[in-house]
């Protein structure tokens, strides 16, 4: 039976460290500030934003929410970003995705100053991640790496398979594993013989958004399985992309959903906001 990788517990412990760091910064006259922009009334987005604001409050980071209606014009969002880019008390800017279809996600992400891009989605920051010389890391991939470290799971020399090639998780996750000297394969909807590829993984990271998609016969005995998925079943319960009950009988380590990667994603946001404050204040 697999060891459960407890992201909730790990994030809780590390938030105490972050709170201590924020206290130290405040003693030097610096209070990290995060601005969160939410466009529309998507329930999942609202939940995420509420959780992020709660995390900030617990750690002493100032969080400002800017909630815009669903029909807000693209120009309004861009003008708001411009104001926040210029605001000295705001160190990090986050636009909760997805945005309504009439707003260009690309324009929005490019408008955020790279120095305040705590999601690490700006092309400049994406390029730095590719080179391995970065200021900020995308929140979910970074959270995954922190979990691997917390549980003493080495990447070097391992066969690492990432299922999903999104710009938010799959691609940057592959780069972070590569920087740790893992041998990395990215799978996607056009991958042939997917089960054969996933069965070769020492470390399997799944981020495709399909409930219980990865079955036990797709996983190697003793593999480390990281489930980034977050799906809601018809009965309202949350589930990941991995069939947890069956796969946990084969894996050596596995993340649950919820309580696995999610809390670590939010933790990275706090870390990035503090780093942005340090960089902007020259500390």
Lookup: tokens for 84: 């926040």
Residue with tokens 């799978």: 187
- Residue 52 is among the residues annotated as catalytic for this protein: yes
Lookup: tokens for 66: 């800017």
Active-site annotation holder among 119, 146, 241, 243: 119
Active-site annotation holder among 14, 55, 96, 212: 96
- Residue 26 is among the residues annotated as catalytic for this protein: no
Lookup: tokens for 100: 């309504």
Lookup: tokens for 57: 């409050």
Q: What angle do CA 84, 172, 87 make, to 5 degrees?
A: 10
Taking the C-alpha atoms of residue 138 and residue 118, their distance in angstroms, rounded to an integer, is 8
- Residue 275 is among the residues annotated as catalytic for this protein: no
Active-site annotation holder among 14, 52, 250, 271: 52
Q: Across the strands, what pairs with 239? A: 231
In terms of DSSP bridges, do strands 231-232 and 238-239 run parallel, antiparallel, or are they unpaired? Answer: antiparallel
Residue with tokens 């009965």: 235
H-only helix segments in the chain: 7-27, 43-59, 74-86, 105-111, 123-131, 139-150, 170-179, 194-198, 244-247, 261-281
Active site residues: 52, 96, 119
């Amino acid at each position: 039976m697999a060891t459960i990788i407890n992201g909730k517990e790990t994030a809780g412990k590390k938030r105490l460290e972050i709170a201590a760091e924020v206290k130290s910064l405040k003693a030097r006259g610096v209070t990290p500030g995060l601005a969160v922009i939410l466009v529309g009334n998507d329930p999942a987005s609202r939940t995420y934003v509420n959780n992020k604001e709660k995390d900030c409050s617990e750690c002493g980071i100032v969080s400002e929410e800017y909630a815009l209606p669903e029909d807000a014009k693209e120009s309004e969002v861009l003008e708001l970003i411009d104001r926040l880019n210029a605001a000295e008390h705001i160190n990090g800017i986050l636009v909760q995705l997805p945005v309504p279809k009439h707003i260009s996600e690309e324009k929005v992400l490019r408008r955020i100053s790279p120095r305040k891009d705590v999601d690490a989605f700006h092309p400049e920051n994406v390029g730095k991640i590719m080179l391995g010389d970065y200021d900020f890391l995308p929140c979910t991939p970074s959270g995954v790496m922190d979990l691997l470290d917390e549980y003493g799971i080495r990447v070097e020399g391992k066969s690492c398979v990432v299922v999903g090639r999104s710009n938010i998780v799959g691609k940057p996750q592959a780069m972070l594993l590569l920087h740790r000297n893992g041998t990395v394969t990215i799978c996607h909807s056009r991958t042939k013989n997917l089960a054969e590829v996933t069965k070769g993984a020492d470390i399997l990271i799944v981020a495709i958004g399909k409930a219980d998609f990865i079955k036990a016969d797709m996983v190697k005995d003793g593999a480390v399985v990281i489930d980034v998925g977050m799906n809601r079943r018809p009965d309202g319960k949350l589930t990941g992309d991995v069939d947890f009950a069956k796969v946990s009988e084969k894996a050596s380590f596995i993340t649950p959903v919820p309580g696995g990667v999610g809390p670590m994603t939010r933790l990275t946001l706090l870390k990035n906001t503090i780093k942005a404050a340090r960089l902007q204040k020259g500390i």
